[in-house]
């Protein structure tokens, strides 16, 4: 059978450093000679980016079920058009948030049934399950203050999830940690209150262990 690629997802609350480290890891792996595809969720496709705008921009009465279904639509498209083809081409796929964010936000934060989400998600992702989930764990107060800090995350204004109260974000954090407890082999939990370089060293080491275990080699430069 042809070599399949490796799927790495970054998860964690607001301002935990997902985007920073997804980009840094992608660059690092490219320098090592791996074929890398970096994508994000929601987003990664034109429709996904429009759904992202709706989901993150609206301040109306979107409930957790509507959120989950919109995220799921974006997820289905990025899996079909970006993630699955890149894995088939033996690339390292790095995704900035994936379905565990739904379990944490719409499940832990919003109270939507985990069993229901798991069943829909299984149909959407199929075998595109992450080989490694890098969970960047930080207290919500710390993460949210980073987002609010100079320039904020990506230099953008706060989104509707960032504007939810600290209690919501505590539930999200607890739900992420519960996902990690349920699948200890798939997850690495990294203390994201450390400096950016300390976090990155752990991100890089965990990713390289998985790439080696899967036998994925750098492609010739």
Ligand X SMILES: Nc1ncnc2c1ncn2[C@@H]1O[C@H](COP(=O)(O)OP(=O)(O)OP(=O)(O)O)[C@@H](O)[C@H]1O
The site for ligand X (CB under 6 A) is made up of 12, 14-20, 146-147, 151, 153-154, 192, 194-196, 199
Least spacing, CB of residue 41 vs ligand X, in Å? 11
Nearer to ligand X (CB atom), residue 42 or residue 84 = 42
Can you give the binding site for Mg ion, defined by CB under 5 A? 18-19
Residue 18 or 75 having the CB closest to Mg ion: 18
Angle at 56 between CA 58 and CA 164, to 5 degrees: 85
Among ligand X, Mg ion, none, what binds residue 146 when CB lies within 5 to 8 Å by partner kind?
A: ligand X
CA 120 to chain CA centroid, Å, is 18
Q: Where are the alpha helices (DSSP H) in 32-151?
A: 46-57, 64-78, 84-88, 99-102, 114-125, 140-148
Cα 108 from chain centre: 16
Sheet holding 92-96, edge to edge: 36-40, 92-96, 6-12, 132-137, 187-191
For residue 147, the partner it binds in ligand X, Mg ion, none, with Cβ less than 5 to 8 A by kind, is: ligand X
- In whole angstroms, the minimum distance from the beta carbon of 19 to Mg ion comes to 3
Nearest to ligand X of 12, 107 (CB atom): 12
- Residue placing its CB nearer to ligand X in the complex, 82 or 136: 136
Taking the complex as a whole, how short is the minimal distance between the CB of residue 37 and Mg ion, in angstroms?
A: 17
The CA-atom distances, in angstroms, between 197 and each of 25, 84, 200 are 12, 31, 5
């Amino acid at each position: 059978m042809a070599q399949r690629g490796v799927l790495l997802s970054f998860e964690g609350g607001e301002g935990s450093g997902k985007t920073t480290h997804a980009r840094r890891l992608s660059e690092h792996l490219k320098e090592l000679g791996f074929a890398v595809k970096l994508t994000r969720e929601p987003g990664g496709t034109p429709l996904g980016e429009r759904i992202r705008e709706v989901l993150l921009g609206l301040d109306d009465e979107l409930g957790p079920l509507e959120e989950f279904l919109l995220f799921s639509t974006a997820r289905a498209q990025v899996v079909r058009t970006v993630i699955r083809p890149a894995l088939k081409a033996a690339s390292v796929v790095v995704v900035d948030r994936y379905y565990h964010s739904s379990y944490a936000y719409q499940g832990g934060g919003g109270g939507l049934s985990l069993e229901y989400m798991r069943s829909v998600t299984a149909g959407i992702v199929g075998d595109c399950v992450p080989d490694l989930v890098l969970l960047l764990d930080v207290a919500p107060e710390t993460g949210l203050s980073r987002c609010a800090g100079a320039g904020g995350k990506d230099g953008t204004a706060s989104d509707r999830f960032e504007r939810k109260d600290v209690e919501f974000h505590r539930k999200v954090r607890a739900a992420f940690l519960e996902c990690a407890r349920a699948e200890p082999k798939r997850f690495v939990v990294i203390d994201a209150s450390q400096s950016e370089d300390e976090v990155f060293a752990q991100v890089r080491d965990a990713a390289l262990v998985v790439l080696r275990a899967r036998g994925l080699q750098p492609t010739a430069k």
